[in-house]
């Protein structure tokens, strides 16, 4: 027999003995009253008092009703002629019995109802106090583990049982565990092998507990653990209290996470804004001297003979200055994109002309390199900002040059795929490491697999490509080639303007 059934049995036995005791006491006093010559009305009042006390001491209507019927029978047995018998000689006593039974029944019902109302009022008062205490203390807590500890303490006192609260981190993994007993502070325990993947109201047979996940919008925040025996014997009001308190705790945890995420986002936005301002200021200051260096080096190249050793030095100066100038332009483009100042001037442009302009720019930077080009026979007119798409091609081709040897193949292809124009840049370099593929388009992310003598960038070119292509309602992707070594970058642009 479980503890709950044993407790119910003893409660029933106790209330039954209390009812019998009160009726026996009324009978003894009634016999004394009869010996003293008191009228029968006083004895009737004794039994009404016994019924009233029974309804007040016991729980529910049943004992009061049973006491009223028993009082009538006992009064008939001991105090109506013939005595010591349930038979009735005087028919008028039947009216007395009916009035006595009805009066006792009504008195019992009213007393039980008043007692129930008082008990509900006290329970409601206690619930309001619990809500107030929890709400006030939740506003004082500043960390999720503190909220979990408070949840264990408040629920333990409210339900008068042992409560454990497992707090989860943002990855929904166990972070901290608190366990509380009624009237005691919660203790921090090691999480051990606890996991958060239990379904609602799933019973842990080894620990004999029920796990109740606290979650909001599909995100699990914590797990409450309640003894299974307590959960099974819990009244409906206690279940409602548990649900209400759990919702308050869940909202508090979710609100804390949202506030912390907002602070983190604001800090990141501020850092990004400071970085963009710094990059913009540096880029503007560098662009003018770089243009002067490139112009001067071009003049020296034009004034020098082919066998003049100073020509090679001037060419190196021009190449490095051109690389720095391209880097500065990328930084300025990135700051414009991040500030939302990327204005598109969409016009239908011939894709072949944009490709030719990009190849001319690359030819000036690396005249010794060969790039294979494949374009369709039909002329593809694409609604785009030609200057920005040209920058995308230049960045992709420049990226291919950095990661390949002079003898490696670089291919630029254009094809039509239904209502999209597909640009693909392939190289025969070392390819992209698997760990870098997921981050290749992130700002300032650079791969670690490039050659030692490759000219290093700062991880802006691909980020700018992605932003420009997305602004054109297109897509861009990167992968390793399947036919040979090397990388492949593909971006798609719609052939019709998006409404």
Tell which wins on pLDDT, 282 or 373. Answer: 373
In this prediction, residue 383 carries a pLDDT of 92
Residue 411: pLDDT above 90? yes
CB 412 within 8 A of CB 424: yes
CB 374 within 8 A of CB 411: yes
Instruction: Express each pLDDT in 33-58 by its tens digit.
Output: 888 888 877 877 787 777 777 777 77
The third-level CATH classification (topology) of the domain covering 342-494 is Heat Shock Protein 90 (3.30.565)
Helix pair 62-79, 3-36: axis angle to 10 deg: 30
CB 163 within 8 A of CB 152: yes
Q: Which sequence spans correspond to the domains of the chain?
A: 3-123, 142-234, 267-335, 342-494
Phi, psi of 438 (to 5 degrees): -75, -15
Task: Retrieve residue 43's tokens.
Answer: 């004895």
Helix pair 309-338, 236-303: axis angle to 10 deg: 150
Query: Taking phi first (over 0 means left), then psi (-120 to 50 degrees means alpha), and beta for anything else, what does residue 200 get?
Result: beta
For 267-335, CATH gives 1.10.287
Task: Retrieve residue 105's tokens.
Answer: 């029944």
442 to 276, 423, 461: CA distances (angstroms): 15, 21, 10
Task: Retrieve residue 280's tokens.
Answer: 């913009």
Residue 199: pLDDT above 50? no
User: What is the DSSP track for 242-309?
Assistant: HHHHHHHHHHHHHHHHHHHHHHHHHHHHHHHHHHHHHHHHHHHHHHHHHHHHHHHHHHHHHHS-TT-H
Task: Retrieve residue 223's tokens.
Answer: 């797990």
Residue 206: pLDDT above 90? no
Q: Which of 157, 247, 162 is nearest to 209 (CA)?
A: 162
50 to 20, 69, 104: CA distances (angstroms): 10, 12, 9
In this prediction, residue 373 carries a pLDDT of 93
In this prediction, residue 26 carries a pLDDT of 84
CB 241 within 8 A of CB 133: no
Residue 142: pLDDT above 70? no
Q: What is the mean pLDDT of the chain?
A: 78
In this prediction, residue 344 carries a pLDDT of 74
Instruction: Express each pLDDT in 271-301 by its tens digit.
Output: 877 777 777 777 777 778 888 888 888 888 8
- Bridge partners of 227, per DSSP, are 209
- Bridge partners of 219, per DSSP, are 216
User: What's the rounded Cα separation, in Å, for the pair 77 and 27?
Assistant: 10
In this prediction, residue 207 carries a pLDDT of 53
Task: Retrieve residue 18's tokens.
Answer: 């209390």
User: What's the rounded Cα separation, in Å, for the pair 276 and 290?
Assistant: 20
Please, what CATH class does the domain formed by 142-234 belong to?
Answer: alpha beta
CB 481 within 8 A of CB 429: no
User: What's the rounded Cα separation, in Å, for the pair 224 and 249?
Assistant: 11
Q: Which of 476, 468, 475, 466 is nearest to 445 (CA)?
A: 466
Residue 483: pLDDT above 90? no
Share of the chain above pLDDT 90, in %: 9
DSSP H helices, 58-175, are: 62-79, 92-140, 144-159
Could you say which DSSP state residue 385 is in? -
In this prediction, residue 225 carries a pLDDT of 86
- Best mean pLDDT range from 6-20, 299-313, 409-423: 409-423
The verdict on pTM exceeding 0.85 is: no
Candidate from 114-128, 155-169, 459-473 with smallest mean pLDDT: 114-128
User: What's the rounded Cα separation, in Å, for the pair 45 and 30?
Assistant: 10
User: What's the rounded Cα separation, in Å, for the pair 25 and 147?
Assistant: 55
Phi, psi of 186 (to 5 degrees): -70, 145
Residue 61: pLDDT above 70? no
- What pairing do the DSSP bridges indicate for beta strands 219-227 and 163-168? antiparallel
Other beta carbons less than 10 A from residue 93's beta carbon: 17
- What pairing do the DSSP bridges indicate for beta strands 372-374 and 420-427? unpaired
User: What's the rounded Cα separation, in Å, for the pair 446 and 54?
Assistant: 84
Residue 308: pLDDT above 70? yes
* 3-class secondary structure, 248: helix
Task: Retrieve residue 435's tokens.
Answer: 């760990």
Q: Grade residue 453 by pLDDT with cuts at 50, 70 and 90.
A: very low
H/E stretch holding 495 reads none
């Amino acid at each position: 027999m479980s503890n709950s059934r044993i407790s119910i049995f003893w409660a029933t036995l106790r209330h039954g003995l209390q009812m019998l005791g009160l009726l026996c006491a009324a009978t003894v006093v009634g016999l004394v009253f009869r010996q003293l010559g008191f009228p029968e009305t006083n004895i009737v009042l004794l039994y009404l008092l016994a019924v009233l006390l029974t309804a007040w001491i016991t729980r529910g209507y049943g004992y009061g009703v049973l006491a009223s019927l028993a009082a009538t029978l006992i009064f008939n047995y001991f105090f109506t002629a013939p005595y010591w018998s349930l038979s009735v000689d005087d028919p008028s006593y039947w009216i007395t019995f009916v009035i006595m039974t009805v009066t006792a029944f009504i008195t019992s019902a009213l007393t039980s109802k008043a007692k129930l109302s008082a008990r509900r009022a006290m329970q409601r008062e206690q619930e309001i106090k619990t809500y107030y205490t929890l709400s006030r203390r939740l506003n004082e807590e500043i960390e999720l583990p503190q909220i979990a500890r408070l949840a264990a303490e408040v629920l333990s006192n409210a339900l008068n049982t042992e409560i454990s609260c497992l707090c989860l981190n943002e990855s929904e993994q166990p972070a901290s565990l608190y366990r509380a007993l009624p009237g005691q502070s919660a203790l921090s325990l090691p999480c051990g092998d606890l996991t958060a993947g239990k379904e609602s109201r799933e019973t842990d047979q080894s620990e004999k507990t029920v796990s109740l996940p606290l979650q909001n919008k599909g995100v699990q925040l914590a797990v409450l653990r309640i003894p299974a025996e307590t959960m099974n014997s819990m009244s409906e009001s206690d279940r409602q209290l548990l649900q209400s308190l759990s919702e308050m705790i869940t909202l508090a945890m979710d609100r804390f996470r949202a506030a912390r995420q907002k602070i983190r986002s604001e800090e990141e936005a501020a850092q990004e804004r400071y970085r963009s301002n710094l990059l913009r200021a540096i880029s503007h200051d560098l662009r003018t001297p770089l243009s002067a260096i490139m112009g001067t080096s071009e003049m020296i190249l034009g004034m020098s003979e082919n066998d003049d050793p100073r020509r090679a030095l001037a060419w190196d100066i021009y190449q490095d200055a051109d690389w720095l100038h391209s880097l500065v332009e990328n930084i300025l483009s990135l700051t414009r994109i991040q500030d939302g100042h990327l204005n598109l001037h969409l016009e239908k442009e011939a894709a072949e002309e944009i490709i030719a302009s990009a190849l001319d720019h690359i030819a000036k930077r690396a005249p010794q390199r060969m790039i294979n080009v494949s374009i369709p026979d039909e002329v593809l007119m694409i609604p785009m900002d030609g200057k920005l798409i040209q920058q995308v091609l230049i960045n992709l081709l420049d990226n291919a040059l950095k990661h390949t040897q002079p003898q490696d193949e670089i291919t630029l292809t254009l094809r039509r795929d239904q209502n999209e124009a597909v640009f693909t840049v392939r190289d025969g370099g070392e390819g992209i490491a698997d760990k870098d593929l997921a981050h290749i388009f992130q700002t300032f992310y650079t791969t670690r697999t490039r050659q030692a003598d490759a000219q290093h960038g700062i991880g802006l070119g691909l980020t700018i490509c992605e932003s420009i292509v997305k602004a054109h309602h297109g897509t861009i992707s990167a992968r390793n080639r399947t036919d040979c070594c090397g990388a492949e970058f593909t971006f798609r642009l719609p052939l019709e303007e998006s409404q």
